[in-house]
Structure 1
Amino acid sequence: MTSTPIPLTGRSLVAGAAQGPLLFADTGLSFWGGVDASSGEVIDRHHPLSGQRIAGRVLAIPSGRGSCTGSSVMMELISNGHAPAALVLAEADEILTLGVLVAQTLFQRSLPVLCIGKEAFAGLRGAGWARVEGERLSLYAQAPGDHWQAPSPAQGDQPFSTRLSLEPQDQALLDGSHGKAAQMAMQIVLRMAELQGAEQLLDVTRAHIDGCIYTGPASLGFAEQLLRWGAKVRVPTTLNAISVDQRRWRELGIDPALGEPASALGDAYMAMGAQMSFTCAPYLLDNAPSQGEQIVWAESNAVVYANSVLGARTLKYPDYLDICIALTGRAPRIGCHLDSQRKAQLIVEVPALAALDDSFYPLLGYHIGALAGSRIPLVRGLEQAQPSLDDLKAFGAAFATTSAAPLFHIAGVTPEALDPAQVLEPGASLATERIELKGLLHSWRALNSAREPQVDVVSLGNPHFSLSEFTALAHLCQGRHKHPEVVVAITCGRAVLEQARAAGLIAGLERFGVTLVTDTCWCMLGEPVIPPAARTLMTNSGKYAHYGPGLAGRPVHFASLAECVESACSGQASGRLPAWLQPAACKEGPAHV
């Protein structure tokens, strides 16, 4: 590549101009759990950019993936000066783009976001420097010497306009008739709807807010600004797990520098009218949405579960767009809200396997999520397996970790695919991926990042534990006691904890030695719940096995719930493969799908 710029054009998602060293990866990146919000370091230890810092660089990734909280991390990075100079994508990414738009709206700070398509994106590899100017991208071998400076952004308020067809209620919200908070929320909803290609909005019946997770001062500042503007939700609204156990964070030894603002953030959303649910598994609450119900849910595992297992209708909403829709009651009429957009785009064939345990489903979800990317898969081969709701919860959470898709179908299992023909477009010819054990073994080893057998912490409840999981664990722990130097901690929602207590399950678990933590979950927990001296973690969650090394700074053993209990008692991981995966190790060759 010469010093002569190579021009490309694309679709500007957020206008602006910037330049800097190009940081390229051909793997999607979840900013939540993948990028440190206070430093801009890539902390996803499975990602090719692990250890790199994105501040001041033109970050080129195919798309985001994983958590809806990526928008909050992006906003935080823009606010604290550790954001990339610009973002170049192969596919439009709503989560990251929304974080930029909110920072622009509330803090008057922004960065350009440009989508150039998959073919052009592949040509970025090897470039040393990039310059983004609106819809134009120029590549250089090294920093150009033309003393270029980004033009100053336009000053002053621009009148808001939209090409969407608005109902009278939309116009009233946009005009400010329902207050400043609702007006700003409607502006953001409409901006995102235009980027998504929607032409109209639709009514939603309920919301689940993921933006109550504390990522730094900007996340609290956003909520407090909404309150100052008089924010009140217009539909029944639940809250995701927050960053601390609000009732016990002091008892657990959490630093007040985190505990106080994180607790205040939860209070701020409750002051807007949201109920005190504090769970990442709102589908476990008594009033889960019904099939076909139009909702707005954030939190990646909750979105995937609602769409796939409940058959409700929601997009994978970014943090902050969730509360904007809750404040207006209106969402873009696009994507998985529409029956036509819920069809399968990929077929995945799973081989017949015997003697499955509960580690199979999170591993399979993790593996299929990586294969699917942003495509909605139809999984075949599990018709006779009869996965439980807990299996589907674990599958969906791991799938949402590696995939950008908000929905999966399992033939004969999930409600829309009981007859698989119903999720196939007539006459469509879909790509087929056939799962092989060697490929699953490769994913198993990716999730098992720990290299020493010692286990210091057993992490359970990501997503939050269900009543049936409490029942299974109580049975496994009956008459036993954990190793004195091993921490066994379960995160769960308050409602499920009370159900488990009423069922007589908690006393036995406390005798075993578990620590129970409500309101927050393992993606937010760190020291001192994880003892500073702890070197290795163990979990039955595919999601946490992926995120744990970056979030907790420690390697992880991944295994079934029964194996986790055995290791909690012995302080050692056996390292043995589940019976259904052992044939792959016996015939091991180059891992592939």
Structure 2
Amino acid sequence: MHLTKNQEKMLSGEEGPALQKAMEILVALGDIYDADGLIPIHSAHVSGISLRTSGEAGLKFVENLADKGAEVYAHTTINPTGIDLESWEELGAPKDLVDKQRRMIDAYERMGAEPICSCVPYLTGNRPSFGKHLAWAESSAVVFANSVLGARTNREGAPSALASALTGLTPLHGYHLDENRQGTVEIEPNLELLQGEETFPYSVLGYWIGENFPESVPVLKGVKPNPAQLKAMGAGMAASGAIALYHIPDVTPEAEADPSICEVGESAGFESSDFEDVVDKLDQISEADLVCVGCPHFSLEELEKMPDSVEGETWVCLPRKLKRESDEKGLSKKFEGKKIRFVCDTCMVVAPLREMGYSSIGVNSAKAAHYAPMLAGVKVHFAPLKELIK
């Protein structure tokens, strides 16, 4: 892989041990994927912030880089932690986990990263424009950036995203290249299954596409999802099938700019039996201790549309920045007197739910239903929002 003189200096250690480690990671990836070289990035988004996903080793790795004086070169945001950093005690999070999570956040802040602690950086200021090259981890953010914004990023892991953040570079391969962004399979869903503004049907559709066409570039025909539905559908695809890019004719920017990108040979339909198969697979129980929405994190528009007929204990997970904006706009007032908590900095997938006294949760997100049993150790009731909160 070709390196510039400055990049060779970083790799040799002339620019310090932190940049040397970062370049070693990027060069190794570049060699694996046969990249011609490294390209500059517009921004980075780093995952592995929660101790549930990074572990003690991840914490030590990040603290070691910060201790060596590492500083981010590109605008960098970070994923959710395992706790709400302000309301952790009220929510019942373990103190030892809180202390470690604060150390993780402190290390990233020392390196200059913006601690948004959210999986939707594009809603909190890290919103790239069309064609910008990125190094983003967090699968749901990756597919949104590629598909809905028309930016370009591979599915980075936490170490590679951090390495790119420090150097401002990423290997030129995968979805950074035009030839890998062409649609590969056409999906024609039964539109009767996708009526209304609920995200649930699109979340199910996305999960089904990922399961049946993993790592593809699907082209969806006839659908006109709203932004929340686009977010939910992409998250479902990414969770079940590692999909990082989809196109919708006349909807997503790349398909509008070049309609030929949607020309594919293979096609498949999505019918009620497919819908039911996904729900049957993910829906484990009929009742839950706690309802959790906001996977990916809620937008202000979703909060505005959230029904106020909430009866049981409910978490609404959203970025802290948007929580403050919602308070300023008075969006939270309609929920006064309800058993609803606005939970920031974390989500139901990476929070220590069992340690907090919950053994089951109700979710309307296929991504949450996929990961919560594995990461949080809880049973899941997977259903539309209106059913969960009644």
Both structures adopt the same fold (TM-score exceeding 0.5): yes
Contact kept, 8 Å, 1:411 with 1:419, in 2: the verdict is: no
Contact kept, 8 Å, 2:310 with 2:389, in 1: the verdict is: no
Counterparts of 2:56 and 2:361, CA distance in 1? 29
Residue in structure 2 matching 1:441, options 276, 282, 290: 276
Counterparts of 2:319 and 2:60, CA distance in 1? 26
Q: Which amino acid aligns with 1:463?
A: P
- Using a 3 Å threshold, how does the CA distance of structure 1 residues 265 and 561 change in structure 2: closer, same or farther? same
Q: Secondary structure at the match of 2:362?
A: strand
Q: Please name the residue that 1:204 is paired with.
A: 41
- Using a 3 Å threshold, how does the CA distance of structure 1 residues 287 and 555 change in structure 2: closer, same or farther? closer
- Using a 3 Å threshold, how does the CA distance of structure 1 residues 193 and 492 change in structure 2: closer, same or farther? same
Q: Secondary structure at the match of 2:317?
A: strand
Counterparts of 1:287 and 1:472, CA distance in 2? 24
Residue in structure 2 matching 1:507, options 307, 317, 333: 333
1:459 matches 2:300: no
Q: Secondary structure at the match of 1:434?
A: strand
Counterparts of 1:185 and 1:354, CA distance in 2? 46
Q: Identical aligned pairs, as a percentage?
A: 34
Which ranges of structure 1 fall in alignment gaps of 5 or more residues? 1-163, 567-593
Counterparts of 2:376 and 2:36, CA distance in 1? 43
Q: Please name the residue that 2:8 is paired with.
A: 171
C-alpha displacement at 1:396, in angstroms?
0.8
Q: Which amino acid aligns with 1:283?
A: Y
1:519 matches 2:345: yes
Equivalent residues in 2 for 1:184-195, closer than 5 Å = 184-195=21-32
Contact kept, 8 Å, 1:416 with 1:422, in 2: the verdict is: no
Counterparts of 1:507 and 1:237, CA distance in 2? 33
1:493 matches 2:330: no
Contact kept, 8 Å, 2:77 with 2:126, in 1: the verdict is: no
1:363 matches 2:200: no
Contact kept, 8 Å, 1:376 with 1:408, in 2: the verdict is: yes
Equivalent residues in 2 for 1:349-388, closer than 5 Å = 349-353=188-192, 356-357=195-196, 358=198, 359-382=200-223, 386-388=224-226
Q: Please name the residue that 2:75 is paired with.
A: 236
Q: Please name the residue that 1:181 is paired with.
A: 18
Q: Please name the residue that 1:294 is paired with.
A: 133
Q: Please name the residue that 1:330 is paired with.
A: 169
Name the count of aligned residue pairs.
Answer: 386
Q: Which amino acid aligns with 1:538?
A: G
CA shift digits 1:476-498 (9 cap, x unpaired)? 11xx452xxx3211111111101
Equivalent residues in 2 for 1:229-308, closer than 5 Å = 229-308=68-147
The TM-score normalised by the length of structure 1 is 0.63
C-alpha displacement at 1:438, in angstroms?
0.9
Counterparts of 2:323 and 2:176, CA distance in 1? 32
Counterparts of 2:126 and 2:80, CA distance in 1? 17
Q: Which amino acid aligns with 1:390?
A: A
TM-align CA RMSD: 1.8
C-alpha displacement at 1:423, in angstroms?
1.0
Q: Secondary structure at the match of 2:129?
A: coil
Q: Please name the residue that 2:365 is paired with.
A: 541
Q: Secondary structure at the match of 2:88?
A: coil
Contact kept, 8 Å, 2:194 with 2:202, in 1: the verdict is: no
Contact kept, 8 Å, 1:457 with 1:530, in 2: the verdict is: no
Counterparts of 2:329 and 2:104, CA distance in 1? 32
Which ranges of structure 2 fall in alignment gaps of 5 or more residues? none
Counterparts of 1:311 and 1:501, CA distance in 2? 31
Contact kept, 8 Å, 2:205 with 2:270, in 1: the verdict is: no
C-alpha displacement at 1:262, in angstroms?
1.6
- Using a 3 Å threshold, how does the CA distance of structure 1 residues 465 and 305 change in structure 2: closer, same or farther? same
Counterparts of 1:530 and 1:500, CA distance in 2? 26
Q: Secondary structure at the match of 1:418?
A: helix
Counterparts of 1:506 and 1:500, CA distance in 2? 6
C-alpha displacement at 1:529, in angstroms?
7.8
C-alpha displacement at 1:230, in angstroms?
1.7
C-alpha displacement at 1:551, in angstroms?
2.9
Q: Please name the residue that 1:561 is paired with.
A: 385
Q: Please name the residue that 2:375 is paired with.
A: 551
Counterparts of 1:559 and 1:291, CA distance in 2? 34
